[in-house]
Chains A and B, each alone.
Chain A
Amino acid sequence: MTDKTILSVDNLALSYGSNPILKGVSMQLRRGEVVSLLGPSGSGKTTLLRAVAGLEQPHTGSVTIAGRAIYDAAAGIDIPAEKRDLGLVFQSYALWPHKTVFDNVAYPLKLRKVAAGEMGTRVHAALKNLGLDHLAERYPHQLSGGQQQRVSIARALVYNPPVILLDEPLSNLDAKMREEARAWLRNLIVEMQLSALVVTHDQSEAMAMSDRILLLNGGVIEQQGTPQEMYGQPQTHFVADFMGSNNVMKGRIGDIRGGEARIDLDNGMAVWGLRRTNAAIGHEACAVVRVEQAQLCEGPGDNRAEIELVTSMFLGDRFEYVFHAGDDLLRVWGKTHEAPGRRWVSLPAGGVWIF
């Protein structure tokens, strides 16, 4: 832990009844950093966030915020949620329907006994920051989804919590708004120099918004790192598969040469790739190739094969070619429309991971 660490979770475990949900999770969030908790549905992301917030009851581990232990099973420390001084933006926004926008945002200050004059100034400043000043007297149901989200962020920020937690902040927005909103949110967090922990199940959202990503799988952290590391150097099959669009093909190890290996795929192709498994020659393995790594090419060579192009799909900014290779479907991206027929495809060794 460095002195820049603002939130530190150590070996946190939590169960519902006899059902373990978090199986010892450790992580750190540094001041001014955005960290995403990424993972498939049910992997425990929300549970981890809520445990940090004090809304769920872990049974082992500890949570420290700005050097202050807010949960420590061994020491018997469990500060209640209202004393943790954290900001949480709920997935559903959780705006209080009986309070106006102003009152929603003012409530945390009222609880902190801020004088009326100062409270007005601070609430308006927070609303202004989020472009909501003109909506102060409205009720939540009179706002659009995007506006509600901003109010909920304003409410979580108005008392300057050291860490802000966001649970799937963009999932309630429609697809088109989501991309704009993520740029806006990233910009807001960076500009206000917030330290944020964001839950999301969308890998592109996680990569776009965060400085670091923690990938959760079944209640444990599978891998963590910068978006580039997570995307470019996956350590496990799960990580490789979860990040990006992939071709996954099964086969057996044919040869091993240092950090590289050759896999003889069940579909008849044989490709060299980066070895990420300890399986010996003759054992089962699988190859993962990012769709953008696969290329159409002119003729034979290393890691190339001639296979059957079935159809081309137009995706707007590119074409996606669908190939049949034995029982596998192979997807390749390109710029032009291609008629069906046999074509050469190259899977560059640097872009193939063998697990």
Chain B
Amino acid sequence: MLQTLPRRAVVALLALSVFFPIGLVLWQSVLSGPFFMPAAVPSLESYAFIFNDPDFWQAGRNTLAVAFGMGAIAIPLGAILAFIMVRTDLPGRRWLETPILVPIFVSPVVLGFGYVVSLGPVGFFSVWFQELFGSVPWNIYSLASIIVIAGLTHVPHVYLYSSSALRNLGSDVEEAARLSGAGPFRVARDVSLPMVSPALLYVGVLVFFLGFEIFGLPLILGDPEGHLVLTTYLYKLTNKLGTPSYHLMAAVATCIIAVTFPLVLLQRALLKSAQRFVAMKGKSARQRPLMLGPWKWLALALILAWLFVTVVVPVSGIALRSVVSSWGQGVNLLEVLTLDHFRAVFEEDTMIRSIINSVLIGTLGGALAIGCYLAVGLAIHRKNDGLARFVDYIVLTPRAVPGLMAGLAVFWVFLFVPFLSPLRSTLFSVWFAYAVVWLAYGMRLIQSALMQVGPELEEAGRLVGASHSRVSRDITIPLVRNGLLGAWLLVFMIFEREYSTGVYLLSPGTEVIGAQIVSLWASGAVDVVAALSLINMALVGIGLAIALRFGVKLHD
């Protein structure tokens, strides 16, 4: 809690950081050209252009197909996975908890690349499969493949929310169904899952929302056959007209935001009602796992098969690709082993810089971001006034903006605000974009840590004579220290994983691995991309290992 003046200053700075870039996007979308050109006048021609572009409509249809298809795959699988993990005696549950969450922490662009090198026309698994069975029945570049892969890699998101809802459910309702003759999967279908339907509804909207903003996977997998979604359409617009087509991109981004912003608000409302649903049921009875009997081996096999497809296949593909010089039909693995790609990475300054920058942005940048989120969190901590509600909405707003576009908007800000322009080609601009894009995520971490502090501990401080800021400094912050460390680790992983936000900010001095991969992929430098992808996964893995070592909860 801060005193009134710093509190207002924090909120004003926050509002400026969020609304200025986004306002710039909206304004740019109704100009006839890039806003810095003197010839640009207010006009709707950018909208006219994209609405007359058949590619835009095709991208829109594909986006809907991806969003719905992804939900159709991820929601049932994620819900069943949650049921099996939380409510049954599945063997090895403890051991499986972490691998299940891995897809969340791997950069989608890395994941997409992993699928290309594993299941692409000359991918490792394709080649092996062909050698064994004669032909390969899949085409990784089809729209259907994109949807299936997107669906499978979003199962963990569904799992997170449904499992925490299931944990709050008493086991007596399930036992009653069991005694009336339902098998374990009937129990899940008829009793447990319907009872967590508010959480499932929330997660359905979340998955649809994520499907609408998906970028890395279709960028890599959709390119060869030209399957565009709205975000990749936006990306391809960069040079559509020869000159920077900022106004067109802004118009596309505005169309995306017009869908995603209501979805964000809907998610907020659904989450509130889901929490009320849980709270209403009160303390649940002690949970006893449902005995799966022989079914447990089938369940385990299904989970392992899913893990194989979503984690083992892409990750092992990248690991292998990073240590072979070439690969294809009839190539002997042992003859092509090499460390040249890593050597190449460590010989080039840009690559070394991108690794150093990535580490810096995750560690120092993560800590700085946590500091900022904490300042905002304290400004609204246990307040329920207009200012606090305003912050609630500011925090949600950047979520609706695709990272790619947010990065571009921040680029504009640093390009055209005079006193900021010297900072444009420093890491600060990338950090700022990251911090804004991940504001909602970070604030959730901070606020759930702050809520752990009993209000009476702070009130006791007030009573014995400490001002709001003294209470924050002497009581609240020391008590949430562990929560802050955990939040820092999670933000570190998220910042390492981030790729789209840095794309338009990429310049000498601001390279980060994620954006570097996107740009190198376009130039076809597969060898270096493989090495960088592995390094990127290693960085995230280190964060994950430390987080697990210190018992940080990966979800709430």
Contact = CB atoms under 8 A, between A and B. Distances in A.
Interface in B442-479: 454, 456-457, 459-467, 470, 474-475, 478-479
Contact of A107 (B456, B464, B467, B479): B464
A251 interface: no
Given A92-B454, A98-B479, A108 B465 contact: yes
Contact of A111 (B456, B470, B479): B470
Contacts of B462: 54-55, 80-82
Interface string A25-69: 000000000000000000000000000011100000000000000
A314 interface: no
B463 A87 contact: yes
| Most chain A beta carbons < 10 A, residue from B456, B461, B465, B466 | B465
A90 B456 contact: yes
Contacts of B474: 107
A299 interface: no
Contacts of A131: none
B466 A82 contact: yes
B381 to A, nearest CB: 15
A111 to B, nearest CB: 4
Interface in B77-121: none
- Identify which of A53, A86, A88, A91 gathers the most chain B CB atoms within 10 Å of its CB: A88
A238 interface: no
A95 B463 CA distance: 13
A223 to B, nearest CB: 29
A111 B463 CA distance: 11
A206 B474 CA distance: 36
B464 A96 contact: no
A55 B462 CA distance: 9
A85 interface: yes
Give the interface size class of chain B. 10 to 19
Nearest to B467: A82
A98 B466 CA distance: 16
A95 B478 CA distance: 14
Contacts of B478: 98
A96 B467 CA distance: 16
A159 B462 CA distance: 14
A230 to B, nearest CB: 29
A108 B457 CA distance: 13
A112 interface: yes
A111 B466 contact: yes
Interface in A160-187: none
A155 B457 CA distance: 13
B463 A97 contact: no
Contacts of B456: 90-92, 94
B457 A82 contact: no
B469 to A, nearest CB: 11
B387 to A, nearest CB: 16
Given A96-B457, A107-B474, A88 B463 contact: yes
A53 B465 contact: no
A146 to B, nearest CB: 19
Given A96-B475, A97-B479, A98-B479, A159 B457 contact: no
A87 B466 CA distance: 13
Nearest to A54: B462
B473 to A, nearest CB: 11
B459 to A, nearest CB: 5
Contacts of A54: 462-463
A84 B466 CA distance: 11
A112 B478 CA distance: 21
A326 B461 CA distance: 58
B459 A55 contact: yes
A53 B463 contact: yes
Contacts of A112: 465
A54 B463 CA distance: 8
Given A92-B454, A108-B465, 18 more contacts: A54-B463, A55-B459, A81-B463, A82-B462, A82-B465, A82-B467, A83-B465, A84-B463, A87-B463, A92-B456, A94-B456, A94-B457, A95-B460, A97-B479, A107-B461, A107-B474, A112-B465, A159-B465
Interface of A: 53-55, 80-88, 90-92, 94-98, 107-108, 111-112, 155-156, 159
5 contacts: A80-B467, A82-B470, A94-B456, A112-B465, A156-B463
9 nearest CB pairs, A to B: A108-B464, A94-B456, A94-B460, A81-B462, A111-B465, A88-B463, A90-B456, A98-B478, A82-B465
